[in-house]
Amino acid sequence: MTHSRRSFLKTGVAATGVVFLPYVVGAAAHAGNEFATDSGTVSVNAIAHASMVLLTPIGTIHVDPVGEAAQYADFPKPDLIILTHHHGDHFNVDTLNGLVAEGTKLITNAEVYKQLPEDLKARASQMINGDSGEFNGMSIEAIPAYNTTEDKLKFHPAGRDNGYVLGIDGLRVYVSGDTEDIPEMRALKDIDVAFVCMNLPFTMDVEAAASAVSEFKPKYVYPYHYRGRDGGMQDPEAFAKLLNEAVQVKMGGWYS
């Protein structure tokens, strides 16, 4: 891994002009975020806001990677990158170009697929709401992600964006993407680890998020994507308090 990582780092520094800060500084904060599967562990590594790296027995999965290459430098190259939608806090072509390695595949919603340059498109498969597929023995389902309140419909109209449920060797992981507390989320079954967005004006507040989560009852939930605009930041501690231990809340270092 070191050889490819070194060359990746050089690329990252050259491309961005920023000084590389060792990832180990943040690594300690990510400890303890491991979940057992039938064949090993899945470790959750929060990168920022909506971006994360999952180290799994079936490979390294990046979710909505954006930002500087250096933020990803201490992780193996992705085997799979999943993208929920095309907004800038979820999708960045420069980041993707810095991350992809030989064999890296992408799974995207249809809009991202349309916006991919040809070389990335050649690695990609698109999924629309309700589709299910498979990657290296992992099941993947595209779950709807959309706004339901009148003044927010413009952000994420129904039918366009994806959340995902990944089935990794018996562990079911839900990534919400950007959505409100839609019926399709409330109807999810047997989720072990959920990542649920909450911010305003773009998605939902902590009350709506906690209400939905208490209905589909994952074993663990990570509040993520909780900074918003115009005072729309949601407090993950308030979210945890609302759940009142009905679901175990995990905190990721999304903004540290």
Please tell me whether residue 178 binds Zn ion under the rule CB under 5 A. Answer: yes
With 0-12 CB in 10 A as exposed, 13-18 as middle and 19+ as buried, what is 197?
buried
Residue (132 or 149) nearer to Zn ion, CB: 149
Please tell me whether residue 79 binds Zn ion under the rule CB under 5 A. Answer: no
Residue (30 or 49) nearer to Zn ion, CB: 49
- For residue 44, give every residue at least 6 positions away whose Cβ sits within 8 Å of its Cβ, in sequence order, or none: 30, 33, 34, 35, 52, 54, 193, 222, 250, 252
Residue 12 CA to chain centroid, in angstroms? 21
**92 touches 66 (CB < 8 A):** yes
With 0-12 CB in 10 A as exposed, 13-18 as middle and 19+ as buried, what is 91?
buried
Q: Give the shortest CB-180-to-Zn ion separation in angstroms.
A: 13
The window from 70-78, 94-102, 157-165, 172-180 that contacts Zn ion (CB under 5 A) reads 172-180
Residue (171 or 197) nearer to Zn ion, CB: 197
The window from 81-89, 94-102, 112-120, 183-191 that contacts Zn ion (CB under 5 A) reads 81-89
Furthest CA-CA distance within the chain: 51
Q: Give the shortest CB-228-to-Zn ion separation in angstroms.
A: 9
Residue (89 or 192) nearer to Zn ion, CB: 89
Q: Give the shortest CB-153-to-Zn ion separation in angstroms.
A: 15
The window from 64-72, 173-181, 183-191, 230-238 that contacts Zn ion (CB under 5 A) reads 173-181
Please tell me whether residue 161 binds Zn ion under the rule CB under 5 A. Answer: no
Q: Is 176 helix (H, G, I), strand (E, B) or coil?
A: coil
Query: Any alpha helices (H) in 116-171, and if so which ranges?
Result: 118-121
Q: Give the shortest CB-88-to-Zn ion separation in angstroms.
A: 8
Please pick, from the candidates 68, 79, 89, 192, the single residue that binds Zn ion as defined by CB under 5 A: 89
Name the strands in the sheet holding 161-168, side by side, starting at the edge strand that comes first in the sequence.
Answer: 132-135, 138-145, 161-168, 171-175, 193-197, 220-224, 248-249
Amino acid at 70: A
Q: Are strands 105-108 and 161-168 parallel, antiparallel or unpaired?
A: unpaired
Residues shown for the chain = 256
- Give the tokens for residue 18: 């920023």
**One character per residue 122-151, x = contact with Zn ion (rule: CB under 5 A):** ------------------------------
Q: Give the shortest CB-79-to-Zn ion separation in angstroms.
A: 24
The window from 35-43, 95-103, 158-166, 175-183 that contacts Zn ion (CB under 5 A) reads 175-183
Q: Give the shortest CB-90-to-Zn ion separation in angstroms.
A: 5
Residue (72 or 224) nearer to Zn ion, CB: 224
Q: Is 173 helix (H, G, I), strand (E, B) or coil?
A: strand
Q: Give the shortest CB-253-to-Zn ion separation in angstroms.
A: 18
Contact positions vs Zn ion (CB under 5 A): 89, 178
